[in-house]
């Protein structure tokens, strides 16, 4: 974790908490926190999204609130800085949950979301080389947030630029509700990062919430599900977990995960390992 990334995470936590302190919704706090990270260019989301194999920048994002279980998401969207806001607009302004590809881009432009210049560094690649390289490396890089507001509602969100070693058209866990994010006031809120294919196969965010529903604490729930992810399918991931009674956990099966938390007192806690 660089000094700049650490400072950005602290700033994002302070922005999100400021909204909560003013009585705003957990949903808004999550969106605004993630927008700071998307705009920074320091993470694989928004301005900092990696170029994919064909030289294009495609992004995914999702957001969910726990009161009415409303959710919105976009996948493979191009040309905008804040996919997390596009995801929220899908939730609030349409009867749908997920929009993808060029149609998601047109939707974002309709609402005049801030644009960024599309990447045009076209590359040549072969399917064989993609499969070989993908077998050697599972690139990670998702930003996310969870929050609890004064009404007792939880929310979760995530945003990513995907991974470099991927076929155009690949979609990871981030925009899939129940995999990359989940939020329910009866259990808690979860936001994931890691190897998207493995997270999808175990529907990890929803599975952690089910553990919470069964009475497990957030740390135990996260540890159990990530342990199963590793032992069952050799997956890897990290998660943020927050319950309506203010308990939380940050856990990861990877060697490190940049993350932080803040309750409004002292300085935000930010580090790259939470074991």
Which residues participate in catalysis according to the annotation?
Answer: 142
- One DSSP character per residue, 204-241 reads HHHHHHHHHHTT--HHHHHHHHHHHHHHHH---EEEEE
Residue whose structure tokens are 């497990």 = 216
Structure-block tokens of residue 223: 């540890």
Q: How far apart are CA 16 and CA 34, in angstroms?
A: 9
**Helix 83-93 × helix 101-110 angle, to 10°:** 80
Neighbours of 224 (CB within 10 A): 15
- Which residue in this structure is represented by tokens 């991974």? 163
| Residue matched to tokens 């060029």 | 102
d(CA 17, CA 196): 28
Q: Give yes or no for a contact between 98 and 90, defined as CB atoms under 8 angstroms apart.
A: yes
Rg (CA), the chain: 17
59-65 and 154-160 as β-strands: parallel, antiparallel, unpaired? antiparallel
């Amino acid at each position: 974790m660089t000094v700049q990334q650490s400072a950005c995470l602290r700033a994002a936590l302070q922005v999100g908490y400021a909204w909560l302190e003013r009585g705003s919704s957990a949903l808004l706090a999550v969106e605004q926190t993630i927008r700071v990270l998307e705009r920074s260019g320091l993470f694989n989301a928004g301005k900092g999204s990696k170029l994919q194999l064909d030289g294009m920048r495609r992004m995914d994002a999702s957001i969910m609130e726990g009161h009415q279980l409303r959710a919105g998401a976009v996948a493979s969207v191009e040309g905008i800085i804040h996919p997390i806001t596009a995801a929220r607009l899908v939730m609030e302004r349409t009867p749908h949950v997920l929009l993808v590809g060029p149609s998601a881009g047109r939707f974002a432009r309709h609402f005049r979301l801030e644009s960024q210049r599309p990447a045009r560094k076209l590359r040549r690649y072969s399917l064989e080389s993609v499969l070989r390289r993908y077998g050697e490396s599972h690139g990670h890089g998702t930003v996310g947030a969870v929050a609890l507001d004064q009404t007792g509602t939880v929310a979760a969100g995530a945003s990513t630029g995907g991974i470099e070693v991927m076929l155009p058209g690949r979609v990871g866990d981030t925009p899939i509700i129940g995999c990359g994010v989940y939020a329910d006031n009866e259990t808690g809120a979860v936001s994931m990062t890691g190897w998207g294919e493995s997270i999808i196969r175990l529907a990890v965010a929803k599975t952690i919430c089910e553990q919470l529903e069964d009475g497990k604490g957030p740390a135990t729930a996260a540890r159990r599900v990530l342990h199963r992810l590793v032992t069952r399918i050799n997956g890897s991931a990290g998660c943020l977990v927050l319950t309506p009674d203010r308990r939380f956990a940050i856990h990861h099966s990877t060697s490190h995960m940049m993350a932080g938390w803040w309750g409004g007192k002292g300085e935000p806690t930010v580090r790259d390992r939470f074991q």
